[in-house]
């Protein structure tokens, strides 16, 4: 007897999706890949210039998550929403001057932690109205250990990792996912001598993981090596901590 194909836990068909930083790199790759799942609409957020690809299901949405007015305008215009993908990011190398390094850290903490959380708060009513709400935070495998020359970036991503775990506790009815890519071939990594993952391949792995209901996704070879060291341990610890203060 043939085995019936398994039904995905999360179905992106006819879903409304918002992705920040969608105009290039992994964000653009995710937009293109999500289109293969027949979403209802993709709100492709951009800060300064929209991407170059067009599709009837893709709606470019000017959104600067560092600007409260821009966030409020976007939240009011989007309305119905099933999936939020916090993808916008930047990497500022470590500065030798302490004052400059503190300023760089503050900028990355704002972009990678404070602003995504503010966007989530603004969109929470729309997400809670969905039958399958999902928040996806694009973190980094560098959230688990600092990389020389990128200490501030790693710190901000570690904070987003912790915040994602916290979101699962605060919003148990929303599927909260952390994605931990390794170095990927994007504008951010231009000039890097490290092996770089292909953005489209990573996007395909990420979307497959979302539909399978994963809460942590390591989408490339370098990320999978990190998962083999920390993945199961972190997941176990997170589960143990959920009952730590239950008594």
pLDDT bin (cut points 50, 70, 90) of residue 147 is: very high
Lowest mean pLDDT among 9-13, 194-198, 201-205: 194-198
The predicted model gives 11-36 an average pLDDT of 96
Q: Which domain holds residue 233?
A: 16-241
Spatial distance between the Cα atoms of 16 and 132, rounded to a whole number of angstroms:
11
Q: How many domains is the chain partitioned into structurally?
A: 1
Residue of 244, 228, 207 lying closest to 144 (CA atoms):
228
Q: What was the pLDDT predicted at 195?
A: 77
Instruction: Take residue 56 and report the two structure tokens written for it.
Output: 């009837």
Q: CB neighbours (10 Å) of residue 4?
A: 6
Strands 134-138 and 83-86: parallel
In a domain, 4, yes or no: no
Q: CB neighbours (10 Å) of residue 120?
A: 20
Residue of 210, 215, 238, 218 lying closest to 9 (CA atoms):
210
pLDDT over 60 (residue 247): no
Q: What was the pLDDT predicted at 231?
A: 86
Q: What was the pLDDT predicted at 193?
A: 66
Distances (CA, A) of 217 to 66, 144, 146, 211, 237: 26, 14, 19, 11, 17
In a domain, 236, yes or no: yes
Rounded to two decimals, the pTM is: 0.92
The predicted model gives 70-79 an average pLDDT of 93
Between 193 and 11, name the one with better pLDDT: 11
Spatial distance between the Cα atoms of 239 and 68, rounded to a whole number of angstroms:
34
Instruction: Take residue 226 and report the two structure tokens written for it.
Output: 């990190």
In a domain, 10, yes or no: no
- Give pLDDT tens digits for 92-122: 999 999 999 999 999 999 999 999 999 999 9
Spatial distance between the Cα atoms of 54 and 32, rounded to a whole number of angstroms:
9
In a domain, 5, yes or no: no
Which helix (H) or strand (E) segment holds residue 30: the answer is helix 25-34
In a domain, 7, yes or no: no
Spatial distance between the Cα atoms of 170 and 124, rounded to a whole number of angstroms:
12
Spatial distance between the Cα atoms of 28 and 31, rounded to a whole number of angstroms:
5
- What is the domain-level CATH number for residue 69? 3.40.50.720
CA dihedral 217, 221, 223, 227 (to 10 degrees): 80
Instruction: Take residue 185 and report the two structure tokens written for it.
Output: 């071939």
The predicted model gives 176-203 an average pLDDT of 85
Instruction: Take residue 104 and report the two structure tokens written for it.
Output: 């760089």
The predicted model gives 120-129 an average pLDDT of 97
Residue of 82, 234, 66, 247 lying closest to 162 (CA atoms):
234
In a domain, 6, yes or no: no
């Amino acid at each position: 007897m043939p085995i019936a194909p398994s039904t995905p836990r999360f179905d992106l068909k006819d879903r409304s999706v918002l992705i920040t930083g969608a105009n290039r790199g992994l964000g653009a790759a995710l937009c293109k890949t999500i289109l293969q799942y027949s979403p209802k609409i993709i709100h492709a957020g951009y800060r300064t210039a929209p991407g170059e690809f067009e599709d009837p299901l893709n709606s470019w949405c000017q959104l600067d998550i560092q600007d409260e007015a821009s966030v409020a305008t976007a939240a009011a215009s989007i309305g119905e929403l099933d999936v939020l993908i916090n993808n916008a990011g930047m990497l500022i190398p470590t500065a030798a001057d302490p004052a400059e390094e503190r300023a760089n850290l503050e900028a990355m903490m704002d972009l990678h932690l404070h602003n995504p959380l503010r966007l989530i708060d603004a969109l929470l009513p729309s997400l809670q109205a969905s039958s399958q709400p999902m928040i996806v935070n694009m973190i980094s495998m560098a959230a688990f250990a600092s990389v020389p020359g990128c200490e501030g970036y790693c710190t901000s991503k570690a904070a987003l990792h912790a915040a994602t775990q916290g979101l699962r506790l605060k919003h148990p009815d929303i599927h909260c996912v952390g994605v931990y890519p390794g170095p990927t071939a994007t504008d951010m990594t231009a000039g890097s001598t490290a092996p770089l993952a292909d953005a489209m391949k990573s996007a395909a792995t990420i979307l497959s993981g979302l539909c399978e209901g994963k809460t942590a996704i390591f989408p490339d070879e370098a990320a999978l090596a990190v998962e083999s060291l920390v993945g199961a341990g972190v997941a176990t610890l997170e589960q143990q901590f959920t009952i730590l203060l239950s008594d």
